Amino acid sequence: MNTLVIQTLSKRFGSTLAVDGVSLSVAGGEFVGIIGRSGAGKSTLLRLINRLNEPTDGSVRFDATQVTALEGRALREWRRDCAMVFQQFNLVGRLDVLTNVLMGRLTSVPTWRALLNAWSQADKLAALETLDRFGMADFAAQRCDQLSGGQQQRVAICRALMQQPKIILADEPIASLDPRNTQLVMDALAAINRDLGITVLCNLHSLDIARSYCQRLVGMTAGRIVFDGVPAALTENMVRALYGVEAIGVQATAGVHDSPKGVVLPFAKAALAH
């Protein structure tokens, strides 16, 4: 159950094909890292899944629901079930932490409650419990613009959890964080996946982090998937194909190993030959 199926999904921006015929199946409860250099199509893929961008071709299905056909209320409900965590946090800095977290309930409560800040006691308690889960309850009354980047990202994750999602899409959630906050944020996503059984798809530039946290890696180059397998199956040649000139630095920290496991897709074979 809760299987996400992507079939020949494409997105063109003018003459640029950002996502090119991607097909992918993700089972419920998986923690999948989507890796590749900047511009590989990772962020566009997540935005297509959430319908923040409309596909040029192909489809997204979640169990029996044809996501790419949804409109109106049904589409809003899908975006509730498929929560996004962004690189830039997207919090309201002048509002306190608790109110920002409660914003995750906007798709499930009347609009007037948010406008009047008239949240139910049950929602407030749920928000505080979620903050406490990730060590942020003591900051509930503090303005978000007074928090560190790592603290803000944990607040954003708590807000996503308030949607009661089935999937979390995290788009480079650690890109602007220092190593300590990187660990805290990735630990939070891992706990959500492990303890709550929520499927997590996480775009990551750091191969080292991806190998440490993700059960499965999907490698993208030029909008296409060129690798799909367990972290240990990512060979040195495939890392070079994914990251090009960046591969030297990536390999130094990633500790990649040659392995016969994993799937190298046909598109990657030309890159692997060089």
Tally of residues, the chain:
274
Q: Is residue 73 part of a domain?
A: yes
Q: Is residue 48 part of a domain?
A: no
Positive or negative, the Cα torsion across 198, 199, 205, 211? positive
Residue range 196-252, pLDDT digits in tens:
999 999 999 889 999 999 999 999 999 999 999 999 999 888 898 888 755 444 443
Residue range 154-183, pLDDT digits in tens:
999 999 999 999 999 999 999 889 999 999
Q: Is residue 153 part of a domain?
A: yes
- What's the CATH number where 99 sits? 3.40.50.300
Q: Is residue 58 part of a domain?
A: yes
Q: Which candidate, 52, 100, 60, 94, places its Cα nearest to that of 76?
A: 52
pLDDT of residue 87: 87
Q: Is residue 47 part of a domain?
A: no
Structural domain count, the chain: 1
Host domain of residue 157: 4-42+54-272
Q: Is residue 49 part of a domain?
A: no
Scanning the structure block, which residue is given the tokens 């440490």? 212
Q: Which residues pair with 12 in a beta bridge?
A: 17
Q: Indicate the helix (H) or strand (E) that contains 74.
A: helix 72-81
